[in-house]
């Protein structure tokens, strides 16, 4: 007997957390937040800067970047203290372009699209549809949601 696969539920976008901001997690060392703040300051409003990723054990930080990493950002990466490994990972698409596309999709396709967000990996745009709307990919296709970037249709609601 085959099991029917349930659509993946996606967490809603973090409310109030914008580009260059980050969430404070309990138990994280202060030097990690210091490094994140310095990275954010060095990156400024660059459309090339992606969403940083922090490992569960708070010892590894991934800096996602499109194209050449500016010297100011590289200096911050190189200044990571002992016990914190920082890796720069190139992104497939410019994160700023993905953020703009997500905003366009959300504005043009509401209320079918509950929310649209640039994926942290900068590999496309996550498009969230209501849990009771049906198959997410079918709902997005039927609504005529298209993009020059890959779309990842998921079940979710705006936060």
pLDDT of residue 56: 87
CATH (one of 3.40.1350, 3.30.300, 1.20.120, 2.160.20) for 30-90: 3.30.300
- DSSP letter assigned to residue 133: S
pLDDT of residue 4: 40
CA–CA dist 107, 115 (Å, integer): 9
CA–CA dist 77, 109 (Å, integer): 39
Domain ranges of the chain: 30-90, 95-155
pLDDT of residue 9: 45
What 3-state DSSP class applies to 73?
helix
Per-residue pLDDT of the chain (159 residues; tens, 9 = 90+): 443 444 444 444 444 445 554 555 566 678 888 999 999 999 999 999 999 998 888 899 999 999 999 999 999 999 998 889 999 999 999 999 999 999 999 999 999 999 999 999 999 999 999 999 899 999 999 999 999 999 999 998 776
The long-range contacts involving 73-80, CB below 8 angstroms and separated by at least 24 positions, are: 73/39, 73/42, 73/43, 73/49, 75/42, 76/35, 76/38, 76/39, 76/42, 77/39, 79/35, 79/38, 80/35
pLDDT of residue 159: 65
CB atoms closer than 10 angstroms to residue 47: 15
């Amino acid at each position: 007997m085959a099991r029917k696969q349930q659509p993946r539920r996606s967490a809603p976008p973090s409310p109030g957390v914008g580009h260059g901001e980050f969430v404070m997690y309990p138990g994280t060392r202060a030097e990690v937040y210091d490094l994140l703040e310095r990275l954010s300051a060095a990156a400024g409003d660059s459309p090339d800067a992606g969403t940083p990723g922090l490992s569960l054990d708070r010892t590894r930080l991934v800096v996602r970047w499109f194209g050449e990493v500016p010297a100011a950002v590289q200096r911050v990466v190189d200044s990571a203290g002992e016990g914190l490994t920082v890796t720069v990972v190139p992104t497939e698409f410019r994160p700023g372009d993905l953020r703009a596309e997500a905003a366009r999709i959300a504005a043009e396709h509401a209320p079918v699209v509950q929310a649209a967000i640039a994926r942290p990996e900068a590999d496309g745009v996550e498009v969230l549809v209501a849990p009771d709307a049906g198959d997410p990919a079918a709902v997005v296709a039927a609504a005529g949601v298209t993009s020059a970037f890959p779309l990842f249709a998921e079940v979710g609601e705006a936060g």
